[in-house]
Structure 1
């Protein structure tokens, strides 16, 4: 564009000088016919200058339009490319997010187990237990799911799954100074507690239960053992995870 501007400036300067010279020449010529000749030359020079200026202007305008069209096309294509890429990216993220959210929801629904758990204590100062008698823990601190019965001393599974049970016994005395008790599932021993001499014994066991299975704690020997209460002897259990 710089050469065109430079050329226009030169033409304008030449035209101005020519006009000045022609006007001065007209001023110095007394003959009217000669003046007409000078004016005719002046008009022709001006007409040629105008034609030249219009040609330069049209060329400059054409170049500008072409440049704008090129830039516009390039920008549109660039935006279109970016738009397509962004849309695809957003679509991909949207699909991934939707799938992830659905998966999270389904996972949450599958792995939200029912809450089941209890913690029972023995409140009397001590308790003497007969042979094969169930040790009944008479006070509940926790009983979520209402699965432990303080009258019978039984835990009844409300759902099938994997459970954990813990028995803690503070032994006081017996005829043989021996304590032998067990955690029982439907009559079968699943965890043994043994102690000789006054002390505390604890046993934790993990077991699979079906709905309706019963778990309790019982004395296994005929020696009239006595155990401490006052919260020193406890029995607790909870559901780890339901069965598939």
Structure 2
């Protein structure tokens, strides 16, 4: 009898344990484990923070490195080439400016008439233009301030002389480069083109000892200008 009771107690205990296990299993099935939402949100927040950090710090630094490389490399080289080219162009431009200096003069006679002794210079003392300051209104000589190709024109309105003729020349350093001749009252014009070195002189000279008289004012003129520099 006692043995029977012991067996019954054991069976009841076994059944109770089985029920507990069954109930726990059913509870686990009915209430599955919920994910850790806070942990997942924290991970998402961390990923977003990393993205923001990369966007703010990593990418701009990369761009800065690229820009620095670009600036220190091709762009700087281009800029240096530009500066070199600019310097070269400036030097050329400065040379061009000095070579293309404007030179020219135009002179008249102050008096109504002028008598020129032999072999004196026709002095046109009324300067209308003297760019480059090459013409001297006191002695009638033009001195080239720049080496180059020049053009000169002498226009003489002849009045009279002891022989009724005018014989004059445009000269370069004393050598004739253009002749003016007229017989009787008339106007004569001579234009000549000549190469001048720096410091060469050009003037208008009377060739004959016949005391020629010419009209002054705006009737008789002497002018010249630089066509192009040389050298």
With normalisation by structure 1, the TM-score equals 0.60
Equivalent residue number for residue 89 of structure 2: 104
Equivalent residue number for residue 21 of structure 1: none
Give structure 2 stretches of 5+ with no counterpart.
1-18
Alignment equivalent of 1:49, drawn from 9, 12, 34:
34
Equivalent residue number for residue 190 of structure 1: 177
In the aligned structure 2, how far is the partner of 1:75 from the partner of 1:146? 67
CA RMSD of aligned residues (A): 4.4
- Map 1:1-244 onto structure 2 (within 5 A): 37=23, 41=27, 45-46=31-32, 48-50=33-35, 57=40, 61=44, 79=63, 83=67, 86-87=70-71, 88-113=73-98, 116-144=103-131, 146-174=133-161, 178-196=165-183, 198-240=185-227, 243-244=230-231
SS in 2 for 1:229: strand
SS in 1 for 2:223: strand
Give structure 1 stretches of 5+ with no counterpart.
1-32
In the aligned structure 1, how far is the partner of 2:69 from the partner of 2:158? 75
SS in 1 for 2:219: coil
Deviations 1:192-240 (A, max 9, x none): 2344554433333332333443211023345543321012211123445
In the aligned structure 1, how far is the partner of 2:182 from the partner of 2:66? 78
With normalisation by structure 2, the TM-score equals 0.63
Equivalent residue number for residue 6 of structure 1: none
In the aligned structure 1, how far is the partner of 2:211 from the partner of 2:159? 11
The alpha-carbon deviation at position 86 of structure 1 amounts to: 4.9
SS in 2 for 1:97: helix
In the aligned structure 2, how far is the partner of 1:116 from the partner of 1:77? 61
SS in 1 for 2:35: helix
Larger mean CA deviation between 179-188 and 162-171 belongs to 162-171
In the aligned structure 1, how far is the partner of 2:38 from the partner of 2:25? 22
Q: How many residues end up aligned between the 2 structures?
A: 204
Which has more strand, going by share of residues?
2
In the aligned structure 2, how far is the partner of 1:45 from the partner of 1:242? 106
